Amino acid sequence: MDMIAKFGTDGIRGIYGETLTEETAFALGRALGEKGNLLIGRDNRPSSPSLARAVACGAASAGAEFLSVGLTTTPAIYHVLTRLPYTNAVMVTASHNPPSHNGLKVFTRNGKPNEKERTEIEKTLRDTTRTHFRDIKYAEDPSPLSLYEDRFREFFRDLSGLTVVLDLAGGAGYRFKGLLGTLGAKVIPLNARESGDRINESCGALHPEECLEETIKRGADLGIALDGDGDRIIAATRDGRLLDGDDIVYLLALRMQRKGALKKSKVAMTVMTNGGVVKSLERQEITVRTTPVGDSAVAAAMAEEGLNLGGEQSGHVILSDYLPTGDGLLTGAALLASIRDDGPLALEPPPMRYPQIKCNLPTAAPSLLERPELLREVKEIEQTLTNGRILLRASGTEAMIRILVECPNETQAKAAMRRLVERLER
């Protein structure tokens, strides 16, 4: 095996042809094929069809059956997995990353693999060689995706009279570009391209400015900006606001609470959630369960406590009454249904927001975060903040340290960030 990337919380990520190759995809397919039959989906990056075929070859070499549905979103492939007799699914995508990157997301029938399962998969990957490789009869069959579309229509039967701007980020959402229209909504598509050679570039959830501008210009009821694989959403309102995952969970929580539909009057949100949003929810007698970063951590907390709403600031929102995983298009439809039933989102007062300063610092040694002397210095810097906090963590998908400084006093937050970056760059 010439190169095997680390199997992190979101599977494998890398630059195609450098740190992620067909060899890696084959090894993963074989590792999962040893556990049972395999479902495969992909986004529309130029490298995705070849990687999906390599996954299938790996599964076949282990004696497993496979079904490749072709272009789809991540939440759709997971839903299909729960409806068909397959053991695992692989989604070939690098989500919100640039076109030159790609990745391999893995799902079990219970969601993303837990830590023990990830460790087992990574070990099998490193022990696998390509000596078993053989070519196979390979074709993509999108027909099982109707299971997702039919379920979607069951949830949101009629969105007639609503206008929505839908930014598909040049990504996998292209497969379902007409789904909201079948429910009666007037859809104004942006960045709906069959080719993913410009996926996520200056569009979608990472760059929602065009979506916001078009929402205002068209007087649309809502703007929906997805990321490359369709599991994130940033929303735009006709009165000129961009709503991240924190905002969306806040708005839906208020409306669900009033209807008695918010289970246990509680939501699950990550440590990245803005402290002002948490305080605003608590003032509405809604409790927040805080989780580690990642939609899988949010989903696990929701399942543990029997909650039906959760999410993270980046735009993963989980409405478990519908699906137990983040789905940008589904969340957008839920917002449209809320506008239909309860009026414009602008009717809800926005939550409090504390200034947050963020920095992604490239590093070859994220383990330095474990050094006691660094942790002491970070604590000292944190003590300069009035009612503030500092969060440092190693990225689960890239070689970098993610830094968050939050404080009601923005001047203090900026000064603390400067000190942190200077210390970490020594």
Dist CA 118 CA 261 (whole Å): 35
Query: Amino acid identity of 388?
Result: G
Residue partners of 370: CB distance under 8 A and separation at least 6: none
Q: Which two tokens stand for residue 2?
A: 């010439």
The answer to whether the Cα torsion of 263, 269, 275, 277 is positive or negative is negative
Q: How many CA atoms lie within 13 A of 178 on its CB side?
A: 2
Phi-psi region of 100 (alpha: psi -120 to 50; beta: other; left: phi over 0): alpha
State the Cα–Cα distance between residues 174 and 293, nearest whole angstrom: 28
Nearest Cα residue to 320 out of 252, 396, 247: 252
The Cα–Cα gap between 33 and 180 comes to 35
Q: Cα 82 from chain centroid?
A: 19
Catalytic member of 48, 95, 320, 395: 95
What tokens appear for 245 in the block?
């995952």
Catalytic residue status for 146:
no
Strand order in the sheet with 242-243: 186-190, 163-167, 222-226, 233-236, 242-243
Q: How deeply is 267 buried, as exposed, middle or buried, from its count of CB atoms within 10 A (0-12, 13-18, 19+)?
A: buried
Task: Name the residues annotated as catalytic.
Answer: 95
